[in-house]
Amino acid sequence: MKSFLLILALHASISYNLPVNHGTTLEKNLLVAEPYLEKFYGLKMKELPLNKIKGNDPVVEKIEEMQEFFGLEVTGTLDSATLEMMQKPRCGVPDVHDFNVFPRQPTWKKYDLTYRIMNYTPDMTRADVDYAIEKAFKVWSNVTPLTFRRIYMGEADIMISFASGVHGDFYPFDGRHGTLAHAYAPGPGIGGDAHFDEDEGWTADIRGYNLFLVAAHEFGHSLGLDHSRDPQALMYPNYKAVDPSRFRLSQDDVKGIQTLYGGPVNRPSKSPELPSKPTTKPNVCSSSMTFDAITTLRGEIIFFKDRFLMRKQLQNPKVSVDLLSLFWPSLPSGIQAAYEVESKDQVFLFKDSKYWAVSGTNLLTGYPKNIQSLGFPSYVKKMDAAVHNPVTGKTYFFVGNNYWRYDERSQSMDKNYPRQIAKAFLGVGPKVEAAFYYNRHYYFFQGAKQLEYDTFSNRVTQVLNSNSWFGC
């Protein structure tokens, strides 16, 4: 199948002031309009001498076509609204009249797709890049039968890379604030691949260019979608910086992708990203802030509270708040305990008598399992907290006034447990509500406070507010 190249070109916004002299105005306006109409509407400027551009000609026709697409007043002139639209950040795919798909509607002929991240941008941590890419794929897997599995060797269906300038596909990047990324429609070889311009400033938030938002748009193209006329759609041509935690896939996007692949299989037909009831995010800086569970995840700290999770990147003073269902649609709200086994790239999450295992945003097969499978007696019905020590390979489970110790290497509960929390962890007891391990310390949470516990001296070294990690 012939692949169709998609070039995401987001142009830096530039201010435009109309000069008094009309001749000068036309010339300057054309400097903005000509490359735009050539790139996105097929205008052939080389065939039109500048001194013959007047009246009803191909330029006017292309301006009218562009105005019609964006819902502007169709005047055929370069009025202020038209020029403003031309100077907005946008995708480089030519605008078409009919939304949904590319010509001939190329689609993948299978539902289980693979992807591979070939390299990383130095603008973000590897964990942030991994997270943004996984989250971008989740946007589409939530509303289709498609699944996306990461591989680390060999050729994937969707190969993802960061590059500058000439990078081997005859469509070189043009430096900062020009073409941000491009992707190919479904097909063999380079089909489906996505390239991101390394010269741009990639971020995990609304500064610079948000990798999640651009990647989600690009992967829509990798799946066969073209642009939408709906300004609220992810597939709208113009890039719009929004808070990633508030992102919701529009119904226009859902309709387009489900036209190609159908709805999700054995899952609710409604996207979990569109909650039916209003939700109130927790006030992370409240003096009475408490948490249901806490864990690390690929270098971040994840705090769970009711239906929400709070992501803390240690190098970023801010914390993002998202719905739990946005990342793990199959998990229930109200997670009660969680911990990471970094050596396995797995996080275990507990609620009542069941627990789940995830790797990134992917739920591992075979879960949920009953907590008794870990070796707990039948009278243990739920966990209060859990924490894993990567140095010893031991995981501690806190239940009431007691704790159990589990050996991750042998996959078995250690003998002579449970033991009392207060006797083993001096200054911590009697109960622990949430816990995590970081930099040779346990952090035990009790109500609105946390205790920093040194694992070498076996003593409490600090008492802090529960939300001290948020810069409050």
Question: Is 263 assigned a ligand-binding role in the annotation?
Answer: no
Alpha helices in 271-327 (DSSP H): 324-327
Cα separation, 163 vs 208, whole angstroms: 17
Question: Is 163 assigned a ligand-binding role in the annotation?
Answer: no
Cα separation, 157 vs 189, whole angstroms: 8
Q: Tokens 């295992």 — which residue? A: 357
Cα separation, 206 vs 266, whole angstroms: 34
CB atoms within 10 A of CB 288: 10
Choosing from 64, 134, 218, 340, the catalytic residue is: 218
Please provide the size of the chain in residues. 472
Computed on alpha carbons and rounded to an integer, the radius of gyration of the chain in Å comes to 26
Nearest 5°: phi and psi at 315? Answer: -85, -5
Cα separation, 217 vs 181, whole angstroms: 10
Question: Is 253 assigned a ligand-binding role in the annotation?
Answer: no
Question: Is 441 assigned a ligand-binding role in the annotation?
Answer: no
State the pairing for strand pair 202-203/337-341. Answer: unpaired
Asked if omega into 317 is within 30° of 0 (cis), the reply is: no
Question: Is 1 assigned a ligand-binding role in the annotation?
Answer: no
Cα separation, 206 vs 198, whole angstroms: 18
Question: Is 352 assigned a ligand-binding role in the annotation?
Answer: no
Cα separation, 216 vs 257, whole angstroms: 13
Question: Is 71 assigned a ligand-binding role in the annotation?
Answer: no
Question: Is 227 assigned a ligand-binding role in the annotation?
Answer: yes
Residue 218 among the catalytic residues: yes
Question: Is 165 assigned a ligand-binding role in the annotation?
Answer: no
DSSP-derived secondary structure for 136-202:
HHHHHHTTSS-EEEE-SSS--SEEEEEE-S--SSS----STTSEEEEEE-S-STTTT-EEEETTS-E
Question: Is 174 assigned a ligand-binding role in the annotation?
Answer: yes
**CA-to-CA separations, 443 to 105, 234, 274, 345, 469, in angstroms, rounded:** 53, 40, 34, 21, 11
User: Please, which residues bridge with residue 320 across strands?
Assistant: 311
State the pairing for strand pair 346-351/319-323. Answer: unpaired
Tokens (6 digits) for 98 = 């009919």
Question: Is 47 assigned a ligand-binding role in the annotation?
Answer: no
Question: Is 338 assigned a ligand-binding role in the annotation?
Answer: yes
Question: Is 199 assigned a ligand-binding role in the annotation?
Answer: no
Question: Is 221 assigned a ligand-binding role in the annotation?
Answer: yes
Question: Is 169 assigned a ligand-binding role in the annotation?
Answer: yes
Question: Is 157 assigned a ligand-binding role in the annotation?
Answer: yes
Question: Is 27 assigned a ligand-binding role in the annotation?
Answer: no
Query: Which residues have a catalytic role annotated?
Result: 218
Please enumerate, by residue number, every residue annotated as part of a binding site for Ca(2+): 123, 157, 174-175, 191, 193, 197, 200, 292, 294, 338, 386
Please enumerate, by residue number, every residue annotated as part of a binding site for Zn(2+): 91, 167, 169, 182, 195, 217, 221, 227, 235
Please enumerate, by residue number, every residue annotated as part of a binding site: 91, 123, 157, 167, 169, 174-175, 182, 191, 193, 195, 197, 200, 217, 221, 227, 235, 292, 294, 338, 386
